[in-house]
Structure 1
Amino acid sequence: MSAIAAWTRQHRLIAFFGLTLVLSWWSWPFYAVGLAPVPFFACGPLVAALVVIGLAEGRAGYRDLLSRLTRWRVGWTWWVVALATPLLVLAVAAAANVTFWDAPVPDLASMAWADIGLLFALRFVNPLDGPLGEEPGFRGYAVPQLQQRWSPLRSACLLGAFAALWHLPIIVVGELQPIAIVVTFAITFVYVWLFNHTRGSVLLVLAFHVAQGTVSYAALGFTGADADRMDWLAGALWLVIAIGLVTLDRRAWRNAPPAAIPSVSAERVSV
């Protein structure tokens, strides 16, 4: 065990990314032959982070992650950004779908708002869902580790490429469209930008992720080709937003703020 811990301390990111794939993808081949109910587990990044932290940093690492998960005093404007931006993207995509492709107009009055509110709350605490399954690992652990070594821009590129690859099983089985690869890469820049501007708050990016997927296309009345088109429209908007953030806020991509790199004292290690 001491040898494993020593290797993990020297190769934190390799250990995290490798373990994330193993934990998330292990059921994929079994699903392909009908022996598993799902091809993919979204909790892989969360569990991988907890294991790597336990081996590499111990209690101090857990305290650091917990402090990020409870970091809510970041200014009310950032709460508005985190919660409103995904909803605004959804609204603009829906409006374009209705205006230019004659998709049905969403009947907001008939939507099950109580159910949507309950789903919104549950996504904060369900580790098998994307927000809690991903954010403590990807933003809470990987981003600070990456930014300790590289700029936020390079860190976002690396994590975006990995996150796109990580979604491969559910793309292959048709649960996500292939456009998700590009969208995942692009939206990673938005996540990193928000994380760094909120003093490394995992809670804020968690709220952003929850808001991003709680209102489904089906809830808006989009099905079939209309729902597929929403993926492309929303994806295009996220790509535009990511390019805009990189282009217009260049200073943010040069150096990470101290609060967005590991606060646990550790020797400089290889990837």
Structure 2
Amino acid sequence: MSAINEWTRRNRLIAFFALTFLLSWWPWPFYALGAVPTAFFACGPLVAALVVIGVAEGRHGYRDLGARMIRWRVGWVWWCVAIGTPLAVMALAATANVTVWGAPAPVLADVSWGALAVALAVRFVNPLDGPLGEEPGWRGYALPLLQVDRTPLAAGLVLAPAVALWHLPLVATGQLAPIALVVTVAITLVYVWLFNRTGGSALMTMVFHIAQGTGYAVFGFGGADAARMDWLTGALWCALAIALIGLDRAAWRRAPTSAVAASPAKTPIPVYHPEG
């Protein structure tokens, strides 16, 4: 066991990625045979992070991850960004879908807002769903490790294809459109930007994920109109990622210290204090 612990300490990223894919993908072949009801477990990144931390870091690692997951004092502007950006992308795509392609206009009065609020709250605490199943792993654990010896842009370009590939079972089983893999690459870069601009707050990326994953089913789109929304929102996310890289270059050169992983030996992550 000491040899396994030592190898894991030296190769935390490899161990995390390997375990994430193993835990998430193991049902896929059994699903194809009709033996299990799902092809994919979204909680793979969460469980992988907890296991690797337990083997390689111990209590201080859990403390660091926990600090990122509850880092809420980032300034009200960033709360607005985390919630408002995904909603704005959805609203712009829906507007284009209606005005340019003639999709039926959503009737917001018909939306069950109470049920939607409950669904969003459940996503906050359900480890089998994307936000809680993914964010502690991808952003709370893997991204700070990647940024130890990489710029945020380089770290994002490593993380983005890994996250996209991780979704492959959902595409293969028809639960996601193939375009989602390309969009995931772009949106992962947006997550990197938000994580670093909020001083390493995985809480903000989780809030962002919940808002982004609300889905345009709430607008009542179906059939070709819903498929078109995949392309419209995808184009907007790609455009936003490119704009952030081009317009906020400082954010991609160096991550804040609070968004970089500590040594596995004993050093805790610094506390982030938002400006103002």
For 1:28-39, list aligned pairs within 5 A: 28-39=28-39
Counterpart residue type for residue 174 of structure 2: G
Which residue is equivalent to 2:220?
Answer: 221
2:42 maps to 42
Task: Provide the residue aligned with 1:180 in structure 2.
Answer: 180
Q: TM-score, normalised by structure 2?
A: 0.95
C-alpha RMSD over aligned residues = 1.0
Quick check: 1:60–1:264 contact (8 Å CA) kept in 2?
Answer: no
Percent identity of equivalent pairs: 64
State the alpha-carbon separation in 1 of the partners of residues 263 and 205 from structure 2.
Answer: 21
**SS of structure 2 residue aligned to 1:35:** coil
Q: Does 1:255 align with 2:225?
A: no
Residue 171 of structure 2 is matched in structure 1 by 171
Q: Distance in 2 between matches of 1:112 and 1:90?
A: 18
Residue type of the alignment partner of 1:7? W
Report deviation, 1:167: 0.3
Structure 1 position 252, deviation (Å): 0.9
1:69 maps to amino acid: M
Where do 1:1-271 residues align within 5 Å? Answer: 1-214=1-214, 216-264=215-263, 266=265
Q: Distance in 2 between matches of 1:210 and 1:131?
A: 6
Mapped contact 1:190–1:245 kept (Cα < 8 A): yes
What code does the residue aligned with 2:261 have? P
Count the aligned residue pairs: 266
The separation in 1 between residues aligned to 2:264 and 2:218, in whole angstroms, is 47
Q: CA deviation at 1:266?
A: 4.1
Aligned to 1:101, the other structure's residue is in SS state coil
Offset at 1:265?
5.2
Cα deviation, residue 3, structure 1: 1.2
Instruction: Report what 2:270 is aligned to.
Output: none
Look up the equivalent residue of 1:21 and give its one-letter code: F
Q: 1:229 corresponds to which letter in structure 2?
A: R
- Any stretches of 5+ residues in structure 2 without a counterpart? 267-276
Contact 1:217/1:223 (8 A) holds in 2 = no
| Conserved 8 A contact 1:16-1:52 | yes
TM-score by length of 1: 0.97
